[in-house]
């Protein structure tokens, strides 16, 4: 496990760490070529420098965020922000539907918006895949 992400998860309560450990394992399996690191204080996976998926501790549990998730057209993911991101929240590790998570992770590879160049394009988001 990435040392920074390991430290992030070790600082969490046991229930939240269990959720994060499960997410970490599933994301790494589904996105083996993606790089991952702490970005803006949270674990995030990137493909060619473009953020794909990440998770963070929130008041109501752990938030899983897909930067291009609104384009997945999936129940269980709620729109987040003014671009194409979508999220879901987990309070316990048993809340994670692994089948859904695997499907969303597949879609995260096949459907990407160009967040990497968002600033360069002055807030215009272009679709990559």
117, part of any domain: no
CA–CA gap between residue 92 and residue 37 (Å, rounded): 23
119, part of any domain: no
CATH code assigned at 68: 3.90.1150.200
pLDDT tens-digit readout, 109-126: 999 877 666 667 666 667
pTM for this predicted structure = 0.91
63, part of any domain: yes
Which residue from 36, 48, 33 is spatially nearest to 2, judged by alpha carbons?
36
87, part of any domain: yes
121, part of any domain: no
128, part of any domain: no
CA–CA gap between residue 72 and residue 88 (Å, rounded): 13
CA angle 119, 123, 128 (to 5 degrees): 85
pLDDT tens-digit readout, 6-27: 999 999 999 999 999 999 999 9
Query: Between the CA of residue 122 and those of 47, 67, 118, what are the distances in Å?
Result: 21, 18, 6
Q: By the 8 A CB rule, do 47 and 54 touch?
A: no
CA–CA gap between residue 4 and residue 114 (Å, rounded): 25
125, part of any domain: no
Q: Number of structural domains, the chain?
A: 1
pLDDT tens-digit readout, 76-103: 999 998 899 999 999 999 999 999 999 9
Q: What residues make up the domain containing 42?
A: 3-110
């Amino acid at each position: 496990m990435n040392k920074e992400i390991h430290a992030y998860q070790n600082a969490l309560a046991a229930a939240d760490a269990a959720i994060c450990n499960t997410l970490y394992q599933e994301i790494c399996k589904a996105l083996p070529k993606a790089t991952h690191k702490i970005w803006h204080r949270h674990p995030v996976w990137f493909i060619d420098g473009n953020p794909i998926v990440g998770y963070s501790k929130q008041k109501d549990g752990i938030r899983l965020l897909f930067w291009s998730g609104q384009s997945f057209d999936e129940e269980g993911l709620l729109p987040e922000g003014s671009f194409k991101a979508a999220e879901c929240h987990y309070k316990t590790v048993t809340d994670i539907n692994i089948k859904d998570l695997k499907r969303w992770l597949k879609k995260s590879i096949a459907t990407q918006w160009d967040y990497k160049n968002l600033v360069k394009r002055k807030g215009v988001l272009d679709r990559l895949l």
